[in-house]
Amino acid sequence: MKFSNRWYCVARASEVSTQPMEQVICDRPIVLFRTAETGKLVALENRCPHRQAPLSMGKVIGDDIMCIYHGWIMDATGQCVYIPGQDNVASSVRVGSYPVVVKWGMIWLWIGDADKVDEGLIPKMDWTEDDEQSSVFIRFYVKADYQLMADNLLDLSHSDFLHASSFGSQAGQRAETDHIKAELETWADEDAVNSVRTLRNVILSPMAAAWASTDQPVTRTHRTRWTPPNNINIELIIENDENKVTIHHDHIMTPETGQSCHYFMIWTRDFAVHSGYPSDEDVRREQTSVIGAEDIPIVEAQQRNRIRFNDPADIPGVGDKFLGAVHRRIAELEKEAKQKSAA
Amino acid sequence: MKFSNRWYCVARASEVSTQPMEQVICDRPIVLFRTAETGKLVALENRCPHRQAPLSMGKVIGDDIMCIYHGWIMDATGQCVYIPGQDNVASSVRVGSYPVVVKWGMIWLWIGDADKVDEGLIPKMDWTEDDEQSSVFIRFYVKADYQLMADNLLDLSHSDFLHASSFGSQAGQRAETDHIKAELETWADEDAVNSVRTLRNVILSPMAAAWASTDQPVTRTHRTRWTPPNNINIELIIENDENKVTIHHDHIMTPETGQSCHYFMIWTRDFAVHSGYPSDEDVRREQTSVIGAEDIPIVEAQQRNRIRFNDPADIPGVGDKFLGAVHRRIAELEKEAKQKSAA
Amino acid sequence: MKFSNRWYCVARASEVSTQPMEQVICDRPIVLFRTAETGKLVALENRCPHRQAPLSMGKVIGDDIMCIYHGWIMDATGQCVYIPGQDNVASSVRVGSYPVVVKWGMIWLWIGDADKVDEGLIPKMDWTEDDEQSSVFIRFYVKADYQLMADNLLDLSHSDFLHASSFGSQAGQRAETDHIKAELETWADEDAVNSVRTLRNVILSPMAAAWASTDQPVTRTHRTRWTPPNNINIELIIENDENKVTIHHDHIMTPETGQSCHYFMIWTRDFAVHSGYPSDEDVRREQTSVIGAEDIPIVEAQQRNRIRFNDPADIPGVGDKFLGAVHRRIAELEKEAKQKSAA
């Protein structure tokens, strides 16, 4: 589902300038830009009220945006303030606008009622602003419903199969290390659903072993917090007697359409911050190639298969405890939202 | 709308030879060719009545066309005249044909009743045959309804925004030259709608200034005549005390489908005809690149936006006087056509 | 139509290994693989029952296949036999499986009732296993209904137009060699329809003349046997006083979707088997280029035209006697199948 009265992440703050750019968010074409005079961040419907040309092809003039087709000018609220050759412009000549804020280096767009805007609903990601840690931001584009991309993160057991030779391990593979039992706890607070998943005595794959500078068995703990619409904050702790490292990887999914999504990822480490392995560039290369070559292809294939097989019912397994809890929470939130709008 | 009992331009005369070619016109796949013996121009439904293979893959034999699949032969009226191994062919074995004529170097195809064919309905473009002027023909393909491409020409105020640094000027831009008031007159005669738009004291962009060999302010006059289905003949006069040049640019739009069109343009100048700037090659390069990089992208973006935003109502401005008059005339002609066909 | 209780050819035997591959057959995504231990050939629905990821992205482990997403394992019958972290798996956790056999070097998949599997329904192609003959296998992909591709073979008169300068001759072309009368006989036996088509006194095109090592007129005889769903076995005999050569070309069409098909072709010659022209490589090059450049483009164009012209009725000619007989047989078999399933 797509939530109303929620923040949707639409871009990294540094992606938006006085050069207008389009992003389709929840099926809505939106133009994003900063005004030239005050540098204010603006999000409008991406159309001119005159003849529907996209404002993203226009140009920012002062604190306004001019449609390049016939020169009509809209201000930062979407109100048309100038039509060439006309002395007056009716107040009804306007396009819709969206509240936008910058937090944690990302741009968040509010879809919902303007009087319910609440910055407290943006997930906390303090670690992205901590000088003792280093964050890398990566943007992906996925041809699948954003829920399928989120579900990927809600069942981290995939990391020992899909990522067995990159991020993960072979823990859980039959006849290899299936003596390793995973512990998985989940609980809800407010709108969030949380889980802790611990695996002990894990032999890591080479990439993960290099992060932790160990080739000995480790305890691998994932603390995950899901908040609506589909923000997933994961704290990964890898530790043994030799070493302990912590990685926050934050995954923010935003629907483009019902079958495609924007996927923003921030990977924050508390080790090798100023030198050593991995550098920011190493992180970017590793994450881009593994998520791009392992996660996204299988999620897109899932999407295609759901269409080709006419949406068959999934069969949950023991690993789906957290995913199931989140799906139930989504259904509850949907029901609450309907009741509120009916009231 | 798509008019019945009208001529649709389908190609430049020199594009059609004994090698059959396909053009989709108003959603109809049509094969065009010249016969080998008499050189007659022919337009037929592009299918063999036998098994529906396209005749455009076949070959012209004498004054007929042979389907390459099983050798059936159709004459220039679409009647099948030969089936291999058969002594007789029933007169019912045939495909549809269309009246076609060549005028002003272009091929015009009649869609409508055969007994209403009237060459007088082809727009007059005498200048294209004047030895003292030079014409350049360019074909474009546009992924938009042909009306949106026509509308581009029906509101020439776009040239001071979209073409501010190529064909146009900055006349009309807020706080720059908005003291320039445009005069726009429109009137109808027969099926046509006409307009004259005059701007005085205009500083031209470099390209237009070079045509007129002047860097002084000019008076720029556009005389436009619209005739159905969507033929737009524009006479552009640029003049000041130093010089006066006249350009006819004729724009003929033909629907391919409801969301794509063929766009034929002829640009005729009365200056630099035998030498000097611009040469025919200069004109071809300039027009191809400006229309291809400025007009067509915004028209195609308009088409996509109309679909994405579920066809919102346009809001007309003062510059849409002529466009509005043409749209009203189209509605009237459509109504008349319905009444005639009901009578 | 697509037949139930029939074998569909899905691949050459050598195409399938322990590396899973997907083929869409009759709109069904199917994963094909050989097991690692016993080398058994397996065909399953290409989805994991857990979350619908394609099994073709997974890997074969022993005699089973593991989904790469979360490690669920299915055996060769489609039954899930292992879920990581779970002690038991319900017998209802399974995906569909299909009977498959290898015959004549090709893999045949049964679509229909498991208790009606009958290997006798696979067409006979003994010549592909004869040491005195040499067979070349080629796979094509066609964006058209498999019936249109089959119809191509059911009216071989096309070879004197479409292939006039490659495989065929100009026999039947008006005013050239239309004195050549073709003899065409057809008859049915069991589910099959057969024909013999003989042309006498034919001057072959260069390619066919080189096969038969003759530039003299020949008698060209095609014996064709059609069996459902759309298997077409053709024996071509080219003979005159100098020489006689026999070619079996077998064409097996399998629907991918209603508008695309797999097309398998085996070309078997009884001449130049060990040396001389053509070699296997010559055959592969000639057949690939002629079928790819002459047959498939016209069949795909037919498919597009049927859609664009809203499926007009074909007009049969004298050459369609065999094609008509096959189409009637298909209609009868379809009727019988409905009556059986209603009984």
Residues A305, C73: C-beta atoms closer than 8 Å: no
Cα Rg of chain B, angstroms: 23
Of B13, B213, B7, residue with least CA distance to B129: B13
Give the per-residue pLDDT at C342: 82
Which two structure tokens, joined as six digits, stand for A83? 């039509």
Is C72 in CB contact (< 8 Å) with chain A? Answer: yes
The residues, any chain, with a CB within 8 Å of residue A14's CB and separated by 6 or more, are A105
Confidence of residue B99 (pLDDT cuts 50, 70, 90): very high
Q: Which of C50, C61, C85 sits opposite A315 (nearest CB)?
A: C50
ipTM of the complex: 0.94
Q: Is A87 an interface residue toward B (CB < 8 Å)?
A: no
- To the nearest whole percent, how much of chain A has pLDDT over 70? 99
pLDDT of amino acid C173: 81
Cβ neighbours of A128 (radius 10 Å): 18
Q: What is the DSSP string of C6-75?
A: EEEEEEEGGG--SS-EEEEETTEEEEEEE-TTT--EEEEESS-TTT---GGGSEEETTEEE-TTT--EE-
Tens of pLDDT, residues A288-334: 999 999 999 999 999 999 999 999 999 999 889 999 999 999 999 99
Cβ of B174 within 8 Å of Cβ of A49? The answer is: no
Number of other CB atoms surrounding residue A2 within 10 Å: 17
CA distance A31 to chain B (A): 12
User: Is residue B180 less than 8 Å (CB to CB) from chain A?
Assistant: no
Whether C161 and B46 lie within 8 Å, measured CB to CB: no
Instruction: Tell me whether B93 touches chain C (CB under 8 Å).
Output: yes
How confident is the model at residue C170, as a pLDDT?
84
Which chain B positions have a beta carbon within 8 Å of C157's beta carbon? 70-71, 84-85
d(CA A142, CA A32): 21
Residues 151-170 on B with a CB inside 8 Å of A are 151, 155, 157-158, 160-162
The pair of three-digit structure tokens given for residue A172, joined into one six-digit string? 């859980």
Residues 6+ away with beta carbon under 8 Å from B304:
none
CA distance A10 to A7: 9
Say whether residue C85 is in contact with chain A using an 8 A CB cutoff: yes
The answer to whether C338 faces chain A, any CB pair under 8 Å, is no
Q: Can you read off the two tokens belonging to residue C267?
A: 């070309």
DSSP A231-274: EEEEEEEEE-SS-EEEEEEEEEEEEEETTEEEEEEEEEESSSSS
3-state SS record for B162-192 = CCCCCCCECECCCCCECCCCCEEEEEEECCE
Q: Is C93 left (phi over 0), alpha (psi -120 to 50) or beta?
A: beta
Give yes or no for residue B35 having a pLDDT over 60: yes
Question: Which pLDDT belongs to residue C178?
Answer: 65
Of C45, C73, C85, the CB nearest to A182: C85
Mean pLDDT of B141-155: 98
φ, ψ dihedrals at B326, nearest 5°: -65, -45
Which chains pack against A, by 3+ Cβ pairs within 8 A?
A: B, C
Residues of C in contact with B73 (CB under 8 A): 174
pLDDT value, residue C174? 81
Judged by a CB distance cut-off of 8 A, whether residue C324 touches chain A is no
Q: From first to last of its 343 residues, what are the pLDDT tens digits of chain C?
A: 578 999 999 999 999 999 999 999 999 999 999 999 999 999 999 999 999 999 999 999 999 999 999 999 999 999 999 999 899 999 999 999 999 999 999 999 999 999 999 999 999 999 999 999 999 999 999 999 999 999 999 999 999 999 998 888 888 788 777 667 678 899 998 899 999 999 999 999 999 999 999 999 999 999 999 999 999 999 999 999 999 999 999 999 999 999 999 999 999 999 999 999 999 999 999 999 999 999 999 999 999 999 999 999 999 998 899 999 999 999 999 998 888 888 7
Span B162-178, mean pLDDT?
83
For residue A178, the model assigns a pLDDT of 64
Q: Please tell me the distance from the alpha carbon of residue A288 to that of residue C29, in angstroms, as a whole number.
A: 30
Strand locations in A144-241, DSSP E? 183-189, 192-202, 218-227, 231-239
Across the interface, which of A155, A161, A314 has its CB nearest the CB of C52? Answer: A314
Mean pLDDT for A162-184 is: 80
Task: Determine contact, residues B166/B193, Cβ cutoff 8 Å.
Answer: no
The whole-number pLDDT of residue B1 equals 54
- The predicted structure's pLDDT at residue A171: 81
Q: CB count, 10 Å around CB of B147? A: 20
Give me the mean pLDDT over the B113-122 stretch. 96
For the sheet containing B64-66, what is the strand order? Answer: B59-61, B64-66, B73-74, B80-82
- The type of residue at C205 is S
The nearest CA of chain B is from the CA of A148 a distance in Å of 24
Residue B179 in this model has a pLDDT that exceeds 80? no
Strand boundaries in chain C, DSSP class E: 6-12, 21-25, 28-34, 41-45, 59-61, 64-66, 73-74, 80-82, 100-103, 106-111, 134-142, 183-189, 192-202, 218-227, 231-239, 244-257, 260-269
* Residue B179 burial (10 A CB sphere; 0-12, 13-18, 19+): exposed
Least confident of A85-89, A151-155, B27-31, B304-308: A85-89
Tell me which of A171 and A186 has the higher pLDDT: A186
More confident residue, B96 or B184: B96
Which residues in chain C touch residue A309, judged by CB atoms under 8 angstroms apart? 29, 45, 47, 52
- In three-state secondary structure terms, A290 is helix
Whether C315 contacts chain B with CB within 8 A? yes
pLDDT tens-place string over residues A106-153: 999 999 999 999 999 999 999 999 999 999 999 999 999 999 999 999
Cβ pair A160, A172 in contact under 8 A: yes
- pLDDT of res. A179: 67
Confidence (pLDDT) at C3:
82
| Gap from C49 CA to chain B (nearest CA, Å) | 36
Q: What is the DSSP string of B262-297?
A: EEEEEEEESSSSSSSSSPHHHHHHHHHHHIIIIIHH
Q: What is the pLDDT of residue B246?
A: 98
pLDDT tens digit string along B211-255? 999 999 999 999 999 999 999 999 999 999 999 999 999 999 999
* Residues contacting C170, CB < 8 A, separation 6+: C160, C164, C176, C177, C203, C205
Nearest CA in chain C to B66: C161
Which of C172, C182, C298 is facing B69, going by the closest CB pair?
C298
What is the rounded average pLDDT for all residues in chain B?
Answer: 95
Query: How does residue A182 score in pLDDT terms, banded at 50, 70 and 90?
Result: confident
What is the β-pairing status of strands B134-142 and B59-61?
unpaired
- The CA distances from residue B222 to A19, A244, B184, in Å, are 33, 76, 9
Which tens digit of pLDDT belongs to each residue from A183-194? 889 999 889 999
Q: Is C101 helix (H, G, I), strand (E, B) or coil?
A: strand
Which residue is closest to A83 within chain B, CA to CA? Answer: B317
The dihedral through the CA atoms of A75, B204, B225, B253 has a sign that is negative
pLDDT digits 0-9 by tens, C7-41: 999 999 999 999 999 999 999 999 999 999 999 99
| pLDDT range class, residue A27, cuts 50, 70, 90 | very high
Q: In the 8-state DSSP scheme, what is residue A71?
A: -
Radius of gyration of chain C (CA): 23
Residues whose CB falls within 8 Å of the CB of residue C286, separated by 6 or more in sequence, listed in order: C166, C207, C278
Global pTM reads: 0.94
Assign A1 a pLDDT band (cuts: 50, 70, 90). low
Closest partner residue to B157 (CB to CB) among A68, A73, A84 is: A84
C-alpha torsion C317→C197→C330→C252, nearest 10: -120
What's the gap in Å between the CA of B43 and the closest CA on chain C?
16
Interface contact A72, partner B, CB < 8 A:
yes
